[in-house]
A and B are shown apart, each in its own frame.
Chain A
Amino acid sequence: MGSLDIRKYWYFAFYSAKSMPLKGIKLIALFSFFSASIFAQVSNTVSSVTIGELKTGNPVEITAQLVNPLSVTSVQIVYKSFQDIDYKVRDMEIVGNTATYKIPGKDVSAPLLSYYLVIRLANGGKETYPQGIPDFAKPIELTVNNRTEKDNEILILSPSEDETVSLNDLFISVSLVKVPDIVDVSKTKIILNGKDISSKVTFAGDLLLFYPDNFPGTVESGPQKIEIKVYDKDGNLYYSTAREFTTFGEEGIFTASKKFTLNGSVIGEIRNENFNSVSTLYNNIGLTLTGKYDDWRIRGYGYLTSEENSRVQPQNRYSLTVSNNWLYLRGGDSYPRYTDLLLNGKRVRGIDGSIDAGGVTLQGSYGQTRRSVEGVLLETYPRDNTPLVSNVIMIDSAKYGNPYGRVEFGVYERDLLAGRLAFGNSNKVQFGFNFLHSKDDVRSIDFGVKPQENLVGGIDLKMNLDNRRIVIKGEAAVSLLNSDITTGSFTDDQIDSIYAVEGVTGGDAETFKNVNRILGSVITVNQFIEPLNITELASLATEGAIELNYLSNNLKGSYIYRGSQFKSFGQEYTRTDLQGFNIHDRIRFARDQFFVTLGYEDLHDNLQNTKQATTRFQTFRVSASLYMKANVPNITVGYIRNQNKNGVDPQDTLRINVDDVTNRFTVNVGYDFNLPVRHNATLGFMSSDRKDYGYYQSNANYLSTSFGLNSYWTRHFLTTLSVIYYDSEISLVKYSYLTVSVGGKYKLLQDNLELSLYFSPSYGDFERQSVDFIASYQVIQNLWLRMQMRYYNMSQSYDNSIAGLTVRYNF
C-alpha cells in the first residue's frame, strides 16, 4: 500500500496556475452538487461517508459506514466552517455498522465545511478518516451552498417542514408567486411519496392546492414526503425541492378524554462479519419513543448490542427525556451543551437538566464520562526483587501475594459535575456563570496510573442587538488540573515538613495550610497541581467575537487567548497555547447570486515563554461563489495561504527553525442538466503545495480530482458514477491511486422493494475491490426489512465480508 500510509480526500482541486494551462480549464465540464453525496476514501475502518445536502443554515446529517464495527469503540467527527478558527469535536452515534451525527444548521455556512473523523479502536489504537491526518493528509472540504434565489421562489406553504398534522386537516399548498416569467407554472409537478399527483392539483393563478379529502386513499397515516418540480416554458427542469412531514389518523389519538400521543420506532439487526478469517455474529436492537401530553414531551431512546463489553467503553445507549416550555430533564446518555471552553457535546451518562424561569436559567449535569476498565496483572514481585520499569506498581500484597506487580494499565472511572447559572434572555442579552469539576475515581480499579482531577470556572456573555444585526459574544474560563491525585491532598504535617527544610521560600506554612483547606474543598492539592503560578495566566482561556450584518455584509471579528495549561475534561480538543485574532467578511451581490468571502487570521504560540521560540501562524483566505438564477452552473473558487514561521536562524544548531508556506487552490463546479433525463453531476479540483524551508524540509504536494454523476433514468431507476484520482508527493515519497465507483438503485413492486448495487475498485498504490448490495422491502405500512451484503477484496490480504438483516417498525 505504498511506503507511507497516506490517505487523501477526493475533493475539488484546481491545479495551481503555473502548472495547468488555461485550455485545460475549458475542457472541464461543469456539474452540480446535489442532495446526498457518497464519498469513498481510502480507509481500513470507514468504507464510505454519506452527507446530506449542504446549505447555509440547514442542519446536515453525516453517516459513516464502518467496515468492522466490532473493532471500533468510538467515532468522533471533527469539523469547522471556512471562517472558524477552531474545529468542533463531537461524538457520533454508532448504531450497527453506521456512525451518524447531525451538524446543527448554525455550524453550516458557505463556502466550505471541513471535516474528518477520528476512530478509536478496541485495541487501543486510533485512526483518522481520511488516514494520516494531520501529518500526512488534510481534512475533507465540502462545498456549502448558499440559499439561492430559487430556494426563496418556491414556497411550500403547507404543510410545514417536519410538521405532524391530522389527515382531516392536511392540505398541500405551493406558492409560485415569486418565480420568474420563464417558469411555466402549469407544468409544475407534485410528487407525493413517489407518486405523481399533479393531475389532482388545483391551480389558482400561481398557487397550487391539493386536498386529500377529495381523493380518498391518496394519503395514509405515517411519514410523508412531497417533491415539487418546477419547469420552464421549454419543459426543462427549473428547480425542485422536497419536504417531509407526518400525518396521523384517528388511531394516532388514544382516547377523546386524554390528549396523549405516542409514536416511535423499533429497529433490530442481526449481522455476521468475516474479517481476516475471523467470523463474528452480533445483534442489536434499538427503540425510540416520542410522547406528548399537553405541554409535556417525553422522549425515550434505547440501544442494546451484543458488542457491549466491560473491557471497553459502553456500546449500549439509553436515555429518557422529559421536557416542557421551562423544564428539560434527561436521564441516561446525554451530550450536554454549555460553552465552547467548558463542555460541549461530550457523552455523559447520568442526569442532565435545565430550568428556564423567564430571565434566569439554571443548567446542571452530573454523571460518568468514562467507565472503569480494570487493568491486567501480568506478574508479581517481592520487595527485594522488583524491576524498575514504568509499568511495575505497588499492589495489594494481601490480595495478590506480593507487594509489586507488572501490569497493563486500566482506565479509571471519570465522573463529571457541571453547572451554569445565566441571567437574561438568550435571544437578546444573557450573562452566565459556569463551572465544571471532573475527577477520576481512584478506587474504581486496582491497576491504574495517574488518576486526574480537573476544575474549570468561567463566565460568558451574549448580546443580540438591532434584530441580531449586531451579535457580541464573550467567554472566559480558568482551569486547575491535578495530573496525579493518587496520594491525595497535602496534609498539615506534610506542609510543615516542607517548610521545615532550610532555604524554602514562597510564603509560609500557615498560609499554605489555609490555601490548602480552601482550595482542597474543591480539588486535590498536591505537588501535581497546575498551574503553580496563576499570575502567568497559563490556565486562562478567553474568546471574544463581534458580528455585524449590514449592507449585505456578514463581518465577523474574533480574538482568542488560550493559555498553554488551560484544560477542560469536558472539551478535550481545545487548542491551547494560542493567541491572536481572526477577521472574516462575506459579501453578497446581485441579490444573493454572487458571494465573496475574505478572511485573515493571525495567531502565535509560546504565551508563557516555555518554548524555544514563538511561532506565528498566519492564514489568508479568499473565495468567490456564483449561484445564478438561470440555467448556469454554480461555481466556487477558493484560495488559502498558510504561513508558519518562528524566526529561528537556520544556522542555529540549538533550536528548530520553523518556516513553511502552503498554498491551496480549489474549484468546485456544479450543474443540473437534462440529456434527455435529469442528471446531477459534480466536478472539482484541489491543489496544495507546501514548501518547508525549516528544519524538517517536509515539502508536500497534493493533487486531487473528482467527478460524480447521478442520473435519474426513470422514477424507479437511478445510477451513480464517481471517479476519484489522487496524487501526492510528501518528502519525496510518491503515492497515488484511482477509485471508481459505479452503482444504481431500482424500485419495483409498487416502490415497495428497492435494490441497490455498488461496485468500487481502487487501483494504484492502494488496491481494493468492494461490492455492496442492499435490498430494502416495505412488508406492510410502517414495517421495513433491509438486507445488506458487503464484500471486500484487499490486495495481498484477506477477503472481508459483511452480511446483515435489519427490521424496522414505526408506530
Chain B
Amino acid sequence: MLQNKKNNIKKIFALLLLIVISISFIAAAEGNDETPIALVKKIVKNVTHRVDQDSDWELAKTGMPLNSGEQVKTGFRSLALVLFTDGSGLLRVRENSILNILGKQSDKNLNKNTVIEKGFVGFEINKQEAEEFKFTTPTAVAAIRGTEGFIEVGDKKLSTIACSEGKIEVESLIGIKSKIFVEGGYFAVQQPNGYFKIRQLTGEMLDKLKQTKKSSLEKIKIETKEGIIEVEYYSDEE
C-alpha cells in the first residue's frame, strides 16, 4: 500500500512537471509572438541592454528589437537612438543614461511609458490620437501628445523638461505634487518641494536641444611630433 502511494505521488509529480513545462513552452511561444515595442536604430560606442532587472547587462546591437520591460544603458560619450515600432516617435538616449521601455496594448493602440532612471533623453514624438505616451522619472511623470524636446534627470533625481514644439503635461511625484503644462519654447525645472519653475528656453537650453540632435560621431586625427591626437565629436544626422 505504501508502494502504491509512492507510485501515485511520482505520477502526480511527473504530471505536474509536464504541465509546468507545457505552460512554460506555451508562454515562451506566446512571448515569441509578442511584437517588440521598440528597436535600436543606431548605437554609438558603449550601449548595453538587459531583459529585466534580474538579468545581466549585455552589449546592444544596431537593429536589436526591444520588448516591454527591457532596459537600455549608455556609457561615457555614448548614444543610442531608439525607434518605436508603431511609428510614434524617436528617443535619443545620451551618455550615462538608463531607461526602461514599457508598453501596453489596448485594442490597436500601444500605450507607452518610458522610465528614465537617470541621464538625458531627447525625444521626437508624433501627434498621438488615442495612444498614451509618458515619460516617468524618479520624481515626475510627463504626458506627451506630439512634441519635441528633452528630459533630464539630475544628480538629485530632480527632473528638467524642455519643450521646443507642442505641449507636455508634467506632474510631480514628490512634495506637493503639482501639475503643469510646458509649451513649445519653454522648459520646467523641478524644485525639491515638488514645484516646477517654468521659463522661456534660454540660449543654453537651445544649445542643449541642438546638441540632442547630433548623433553622427566624427573623428579627427591630428599628427603631432609627440604622437597622434584623436578628437571625437558629434555632428548632425544626415
Contact = CB atoms under 8 A, between A and B. Distances in A.
Interface of A: 152, 155, 157-158, 163-164, 169, 171, 173, 175, 177-178, 204-207, 209, 211, 256-259, 292, 294-295, 325, 467
A292 B237 CA distance: 12
4 residue pairs, one from A and one from B, having the closest CB atoms: A205-B35, A171-B63, A257-B221, A155-B87
Nearest to A358: B206
B166 A467 contact: yes
B116 interface: no
A175 B87 CA distance: 8
A467 B146 contact: yes
Given A163-B238, A205-B33, A257-B221, A173 B42 contact: no
B41 interface: yes
A325 B39 contact: no
B85 A177 contact: yes
Contacts, number: 74
Interface in B32-79: 32-36, 39, 41-42, 62-63, 65
A207 B103 CA distance: 15
Contacts of A211: 63
Contacts of B110: 177
Contacts of B169: none
Interface string B7-33: 000000000000000000000000011
Contact of A175 (B85, B221, B235, B238): B85
22 contacts: A157-B85, A158-B39, A169-B42, A169-B62, A175-B85, A175-B86, A175-B87, A178-B87, A204-B34, A205-B34, A206-B35, A206-B85, A207-B39, A207-B65, A209-B39, A257-B220, A258-B220, A259-B219, A292-B238, A295-B236, A467-B146, A467-B165
Contact of A209 (B65, B166, B219): B65
A209 B235 CA distance: 28
Contacts of A178: 86-87, 108
B83 interface: yes
B226 interface: no
B42 A207 contact: no
A178 to B, nearest CB: 6
Interface in B86-115: 86-87, 108, 110
B62 A207 contact: no
B50 to A, nearest CB: 18
B85 A207 contact: yes
B218 interface: yes
A426 to B, nearest CB: 14
A205 B221 CA distance: 45
B86 A205 contact: no
Describe A's contact surface by its main secondary structure.
loop
A162 to B, nearest CB: 9
- Report the contact-size class of chain B (Cβ under 8 Å from the partner): 20 to 34
Contact of B235 (A158, A204, A294): A294
A211 to B, nearest CB: 6
A157 B83 contact: yes
A467 B238 CA distance: 25
B129 to A, nearest CB: 10
Contacts of A206: 35, 85
Interface of B: 32-36, 39, 41-42, 62-63, 65, 83, 85-87, 108, 110, 146, 165-166, 184, 218-221, 223, 235-236, 238
Contacts of B41: 157-158
A173 B86 contact: no
Nearest to A172: B63
B165 A259 contact: no
A297 to B, nearest CB: 10
Contacts of A175: 35, 85-87
Contacts of A164: 238
A207 B36 contact: yes
Nearest to B34: A205
B219 A256 contact: yes
B108 A209 contact: no
A173 B85 CA distance: 9
A256 B221 contact: yes
A480 B102 CA distance: 65
Contacts of A163: 238
Nearest to B90: A157
B216 to A, nearest CB: 9
A714 B126 CA distance: 39
A22 to B, nearest CB: 39
Nearest to B220: A257
Given A257-B223, A258-B220, A259-B218, 11 more contacts: A158-B41, A163-B238, A164-B238, A204-B34, A204-B65, A205-B34, A207-B35, A259-B220, A292-B238, A295-B235, A325-B236
Contacts of B219: 256, 259
Contacts of B238: 163-164, 292
A211 B63 CA distance: 8
B35 A204 contact: yes
B222 to A, nearest CB: 8
A378 to B, nearest CB: 59
B198 to A, nearest CB: 19
A269 to B, nearest CB: 31
A295 B214 CA distance: 11
A217 B158 CA distance: 50
B63 A173 contact: yes
B82 to A, nearest CB: 11
A132 to B, nearest CB: 47
Contacts of B62: 169, 171
A175 B66 CA distance: 13
A325 B210 CA distance: 12
B39 A173 contact: yes
A258 B108 CA distance: 48
Contacts of A209: 39, 63, 65
A25 B9 CA distance: 78
Nearest to A591: B129
A368 to B, nearest CB: 34
Given A177-B85, A295-B235, A204 B36 contact: yes
A164 B166 CA distance: 29
A211 B35 CA distance: 18
Contacts of B42: 169
Contacts of A171: 62-63
Contacts of B39: 157-158, 173, 207, 209
A263 B56 CA distance: 43
Contacts of B85: 155, 157, 173, 175, 177, 206-207
B224 to A, nearest CB: 13
Nearest to A173: B39
Nearest to A205: B35
Contacts of B165: 467
Contact of A205 (B36, B108, B146): B36
A164 B223 CA distance: 30
A164 B238 CA distance: 8
A258 to B, nearest CB: 8
A190 to B, nearest CB: 14
A714 to B, nearest CB: 32
Contacts of B65: 204, 207, 209
A169 B44 CA distance: 11
